[in-house]
Structures are given as C-alpha cells and as structure tokens.
Structure 1
Amino acid sequence: MTTLVTNSKILRKQLRAFRNQLTPEQQSQHALDALAYLKVCLKHYENQVAPDPLPHPLNIALFLSQDGELKTQSAIEYLWQQTGHRVFLPTLETKPDLHMAFVEYHKTSQMENNRFGMPEPKTPLDRHFAGSHMDIVFMPLVGFDLQGNRLGMGGGYYDRTFAFKRLPQDSANPTLLIGWAHSCQQVPQLPNQPWDVPLDGIITEKGLEFFTAEQLE
C-alpha cells in the first residue's frame, strides 16, 4: 500500500538529514552521475520539445547547491564550457510584480546575498526574467515522489513563479521543470495541494524519469 506522507515539517527534517549524511565522495559521484542524465535531458528537449533546429540558445536555470543538496557546479561548468546555452540562477531580490526572477549567471558574475543569506548574481532589474522565459529549470527540492509531486522548503517561491504551468498551455515551447535531487530524497507519495506545480521529471544519480505522458512521447 502506498504511504501518504502528511507531516511536511518532520519529513523535511528527515530528508535533509539523509542527504547531509552522504560523504563528500558520494556527493561528488552523485553529481557526476546526474550530469550524465542532464545531458540526456537536453537531448530529449532538443529532439522532442523544441523545434529543429533550435532557434536560439536555451535559457537553462539551475541553483547553487547548499545543505547537502545534489551539487550543481559540474552541471553549470558543463553548460558554460560545452554548450552555447545560457545559464540562469533564481533571485528573490527582484521586481515588485515577480515572486521570483531569473538572472543570467557567468563565471565573472558579481554575487550578493539575499535576505536568506543565499548568493545571487548582482544584476540590474531590467535583466531579470520571469519563469516563463526559461526553457528548462532544474529545481531544488527536499523531497519528491514518482507522481511528480515536489516538497520544497515551504516558501512557495517556485509554485508561485510557475503557476502558469497549471493553466492550459498555448505555447509551442513550454517551460520544462525537472527536479534535481539525490535518490534518497524520494518518498512513496506526497500530498498534493491545488496550488502545487508538479514536476515534469526528476534527475537523480540513478537516472532521469519523466512523469507526464506528453514528455514520454
């Protein structure tokens, strides 16, 4: 029988403890394994979602890992060095009409801490982009299930930013939301709230899995 996890506060604490118990060697190996599946995901996007050929470099959002999260640095380095795609990071210090924005991230980007002490590129507001401008977003999370549900830190920033994903899509190139996590963060089933925005897929050190029928075609 599937177990429905309902106490999010306790679950967050447990899952954060699981990922922080990973050794530095395990963290490094997981990051390399996940990078291989990121490459598969990019190829899938190019073949199945985007027009052929790509009309422009992809806007790809990641995040800077902390607190035992699956590391993103090798993925960022790969995108910088081996592809022509643009790399973005989320920013909370943004325009009043945006819950969260995305700003381009370069090796030379000047960084400043947001109100939670997390580094963000220091970028003029006119270069802040809404979530709908991203092609692929590799998202942080605390927990996930194989129904596409995601457990975040509880702030709701990603759900509000990508609320448009719950509406009928008339775009030929919708934003793809891919969770980025260790496999130890998987749980049997998470509760689903009306405002939750589901993941399109998940990458862990064990593989890439898509959740929606459209992405499996």
Structure 2
Amino acid sequence: MTRDALRRKLQQTRAQLCEASRKQAAEAVAARVKQRLDLNHGGIAAIFKSFAAELDTTPTINALWQQGITTVLPVLHPFSKGHLLFLRYNPHTTMIKNRYGIAEPALDCQNIVPLAQIDWLFMPLVGFDRQGNRLGMGGGYYDRTLARWRDGLLTQLSPIGLAYDQQEVESIPVESWDVPIPEVITPTKHWRF
C-alpha cells in the first residue's frame, strides 16, 4: 500500500471512532504521559493542539500545566517554509488559525522557545509501526524538526508520538527523509523502539 493510501485509510479509521471512545482515549493517554514524565523536575514540553480527528491533547496539556511543566505549541515558521517554531502556550494565549486551519499561538518573538531548550516533543501521528516509523500528514514538518535530533545535536530532546491504538500498523513505507521516533504513547500501551 502506498503512503498516501495508508494515510487515507488510517485517517478514515481515526475519524470513525465515537466521541466516547475519543474522550476515554484522550484521558488514558494523559495518564500515560504523566507516568512517562518526571513531572516533579519541571521542564518544557512541546505538544500539538488537536485538529480534526487527532487524539485530543487537552487532557494531556492540562496535566502538564498542573505539574508546572512549561508548554509550547508548534507554529508554522513565517520565513522558513516547511519548518516549525515553538511558542509558549497557556490558557490566556491568543490563538489564530494557520493556513491549514490549525490553531496556533499568534506569533510573538518574545514567546519563542528554541528547540534546544525543549525536553519532550509530543507529536501527532496518522500511523506508526513497531520499528518507530511514523506516518504524518505529509508536510514533513516534524521530520525537518527532528533532523538535528537524529544527527545527535539535540541530546536533551525526547520525541514521543501520541496516537490511538488503532493507528498502529504492521509496516510504514519509509522514505529517506523520514526520522523514526523512539516512543509512542497510546491509550493502552507505551511503545519504546
């Protein structure tokens, strides 16, 4: 199956989950994230605001805030096409919709947090396999973000995918630019690759 066909199939599977299942999954993932992190040591977590049928990250964001973890969200870089910036996020952050219709903090240079200061990078997945290969939406934003980590330049960063259990597949077709990730958290399992 091609990457595009697999992406469509997994997006359809994700979209068919009922509201109760989605809510339960979001709460279970938040509990697993709390178990995964040493929430007493502070730190900075980059996480996404859910879009469409993605796993709802609201419970996870609230758990991070309750533990005093600084939270940042990805923002489409205004000058470097295909790249992300990360901006501080709290309940009072002014949000706008980017060109994909995804909510992100309004650009304010004072709120930018360099990737080198981020401890955990929670990212959305369309699909993943047991080798740590991930399938995203196809824009390559997270692969570009993870390139320096892959090259050993961001040793403090822990990339972690967040997904529904139904997004695990036997094998993801891999391209040369793909960056496998070491962990995925689903409602029922914490995968380490």
How far is 1:73 from its partner?
A: 0.3
Q: Aligned to 2:159, what secondary structure does the other structure show?
A: strand
Q: Distance in 1 between matches of 2:140 and 2:114?
A: 15
Give the letter for the 1:121 counterpart.
P
State TM-score, norm by structure 1: 0.82
Alignment of 1:137-216 (within 5 A): 137-169=121-153, 173-211=155-193
Once the two structures are TM-superposed, the CA of residue 167 in structure 1 deviates from its matched residue by: 1.2
**SS at 1:209 equivalent:** strand
Question: Compared with structure 1, are the counterparts of its residues 167 and 14 closer, same or farther at alpha carbon in structure 2 (3 Å cutoff)?
Answer: same
Structure 1 or 2, whichever has the larger Rg, is 1
Q: What CA distance in whole angstroms lies between the structure 2 residues aligned with 1:92 and 1:100?
A: 5
For 1:62, the equivalent position in structure 2 comes to 47
SS in 2 for 1:193: coil
Asked if structure 1 preserves the Cα contact closer than 8 Å seen for 2:45 and 2:119, the reply is: yes
In structure 1, runs of 5+ residues without a counterpart are 1-5, 47-52, 212-217
Identify the match of residue 77 of structure 1 among 59, 62, 68.
62
Give the % identical residues.
38
CA contact (8 A) 2:82 2:140 kept: no
Q: Distance in 2 between matches of 1:164 and 1:32?
A: 32
The Cα shift of 1:35 comes to 1.1
Q: 2: distance between equivalents of 1:11 and 1:194?
A: 18
The structural deviation recorded for 1:160 is: 0.6
| Amino acid of the structure 1 residue aligned with 2:186 | T
Cα distance in 1 between the residues matched to 2:67 and 2:177:
34
Aligned length: 193
What is the CA–CA distance in structure 1 between the aligned matches of 2:126 and 2:17, rounded to whole Å? 15
**2 CA distance for matches of 1:132 and 1:147?**
26
Q: Which of 78, 100, 106 is the aligned partner of 2:84?
A: 100
The C-alpha deviation readout for 1:97-121, integer Å capped at 9, x for no partner, is 9811110111000111111121111
Quickly say closer, same or farther: Cα 1:84–1:153, change in 2 above 3 A: same
- Over aligned residues, Cα RMSD in angstroms? 1.9
SS at match of 1:162: helix
